[in-house]
Each structure stands twice: as C-alpha cells, then as structure tokens.
Amino acid sequence: MGVIGEAWTWLTTGANWSGDGGAGHRLAEHLYVSGIALAVACLIALPVALYLGHVGKGGSLAVNISNVGRAVPVFAVLALFMMTPLRNSGFLPTVIALVLFAVPPLLTNAYVGMTEVDRSVVEAARGMGMSGGQLFVRVELPLAYPMIMTGLRSAAVQVIATASIAAMVGLGGLGRIITAGFNTYDTAQVFAGAVLVALLALVVEGVLVALDRLLSPLRRRRTV
C-alpha cells in the first residue's frame, strides 16, 4: 500500500480521531487558535484601513508598515516570543505571531478597496446631502466590500495553513499530528496531517465565498 493509501487508512481509523491527542481535538485546537488570531487581526486592521481610506490620508504609510510583517518569518517571530515570559502563556505567542501575519492582507485589501471607490459616485452622494457617516456606510463600504472579503479570505487561508507552527513549540493544533508523524517516522501520518490542514483551509475559504455570495444582495441594496 502506498503512502496515499496508508494516509487514507489513518484518516478513516476511528481511534485516530478520539481522545485529547486525536485528530478531532487537534482540529478544534487549530480552529480555536486560528479564529482568535483572525478576529484580533480584523479588529486591528479593518478599522485602521477603512478610516484611512475614508479620509484619504496616511494609508500608504500604514500599508507599508504592515507589510513589514510579510518579510519576517512567522516561525522566527514565534521563536522570539518563546524566549520571553510569554512562553508560559499557552497559545498566546502563536496568536500574536499569526495576528502579525494576518494584518497585512486585511489592511492592504481594505484600504485599496476604499481608495478604488469611484470618486464621481462619492461626489454624487455628497451632492445629495449625505453626511460623512452616511457616505461611508451607504457608499464607500458597500463598494469596497469585495476587496475587503478578498483580504479576509486571503488572511484566513494563510492563518489556517500557518497555525500548524504551534506544534513546533509543543502546542496543539493539526501541526501536532505532523510533528508526531515525523518523530515516529510515520510518513502516512505526516501526509494525513498535511491533508487535514489543506482541507481545512479549503473548507474555510469555501465558507467565506458562500458568505460573500449570501451578503452581496444585501450590500447592493444598501448602495446608492
């Protein structure tokens, strides 16, 4: 039986999904860490990007600063945190490293979406007597929505895929399945863990695409 067949056997064996070290528990850990990191990144990046895009000032500097995070390997950031007192804080170092990784695509896409809003539409709305807040909510935000969702999907997939690094410092998540396979020279388990990470990333992206399609009609109703 080849590696693919052995990996399939591993994935379909119930014993591998039960218990604290099973794939089911590791999947929950992976979603927990990724969800927190993505939520925090959204709370940081989106208000900054939307505000700067709305006022039209300082956005380029903010985008360039955030993109520094892309040049720094996430594992290197995590390794630095593990040399500080934060190493005893559970998943916190991993969450911080993933937030730094998720902010750039969220901030960049949201800001670009705001700056690409047709100025003639904005001026027409302003001519209709809309206030700054109404202009933002009813015109700019709906028109920037596709780019915002693009950034969210990109960040979500990157976070899901990268959250596996938590296992490198002895924490949980699907990465533990992969590292356990390496430690026991079990190629099938390594392959199975990688498949689970890839499938989870695809499922999350699919859910966000479906959510995008669900919300698009509501967005169009709010647009002038």
**Segment 176-189 mean pLDDT:** 88
Long-range contacts of 203-210 (CB under 8 A, 24+ apart): 204/156, 204/157, 204/160, 205/153, 205/156, 205/157, 208/149, 208/152, 208/153, 208/156, 209/153
Asked if 79 and 73 count as a contact pair (C-beta separation under 8 A), the reply is no
Domain with 101, as residue range(s), is 3-10+20-222
- Written as six digits, the tokens of 110 are 């949201």
Which band of pLDDT confidence, cut at 50, 70 and 90, is reported for residue 157? very high
What pLDDT is recorded for position 114?
87
Phi, psi of 190 (to 5 degrees): -60, -45
Cα separation, 160 vs 219, in Å, equals 27
Q: Which residue has the higher pLDDT, 134 or 107?
A: 107
pLDDT tens across 14-31, in order? 888 988 888 899 999 999
15: in domain: no
Which band of pLDDT confidence, cut at 50, 70 and 90, is reported for residue 194? very high
**Segment 44-59 mean pLDDT:** 84
Cα separation, 176 vs 164, in Å, equals 7
Residue 65 pLDDT > 60:
yes
What pLDDT is recorded for position 219?
57
What pLDDT is recorded for position 215?
75
**Segment 40-58 mean pLDDT:** 87
101: in domain: yes
pTM of the model: 0.85
CATH number, domain of 129, equals 1.10.3720.10
What pLDDT is recorded for position 198?
93
Average pLDDT over the chain, rounded to an integer: 82
172: in domain: yes
Cα separation, 202 vs 31, in Å, equals 13
What pLDDT is recorded for position 53?
83
62: in domain: yes
What pLDDT is recorded for position 224?
47
106: in domain: yes
24: in domain: yes
18 dihedral zone (left: phi>0; alpha: psi -120 to 50; beta): beta
Q: How many domains does the chain have?
A: 1
Residue 60 pLDDT > 90:
no
Helix orientation angle between 187-222 and 141-162, rounded to the nearest 10 degrees: 170
**Segment 48-69 mean pLDDT:** 77
CA dihedral of residues 58, 64, 66, 71 (deg, nearest 10): -170
Q: What share of the chain is helix, strand, coil (3-state, %, to 5)?
A: 85, 0, 15
